[in-house]
Amino acid sequence: MTYKIKVEIKNDDWLSDKPDWIGNIYTLRRGGDKSEHAAFYEAGGYDAYGSPDHDRVIELAVKDPEALKILRFLWVESFDINAESEDEATEMVEIFDAWVARGFYSNYGQQDPEDFNEFESCLDEAFETLQEIGKIGNPYRVYLDCYQHSRVVWSVTGTGVLCMFDTARKCGVWVPNDDQIEDIKIRCERGETQDDVIVSMCKDDLRDYNAWLNGEIYGVVVTKEYDTGGIEELDAVWGFYGYESAEIQAEEFRNHYASVAN
Q: What is the pLDDT of residues 251-262, one digit of tens each?
A: 999 998 887 765
DSSP classification of residue 46:
B
| pLDDT at residue number 32 | 64
The CA distances from residue 33 to 30, 195, 204, in Å, are: 8, 29, 25
Output the pTM of the full model.
Answer: 0.77
By the 8 A CB rule, do 215 and 5 touch?
A: no
Q: What is the pLDDT of residues 26-85, one digit of tens each?
A: 998 766 677 889 999 999 999 988 899 988 888 888 888 899 889 888 877 776 655 456
| pLDDT at residue number 112 | 46
| pLDDT at residue number 113 | 40
Higher pLDDT pick, 202 / 108? 202
* 167-175 and 142-148 beta bridge pairing: antiparallel
Q: What is the pLDDT of residues 88-111, one digit of tens each?
A: 667 777 777 776 666 565 555 455
Using a CB cutoff of 8 Å and minimum separation of 24, what contacts does 30-39 make?
Answer: 39/175
Q: Is the pLDDT of residue 114 over 50?
A: no
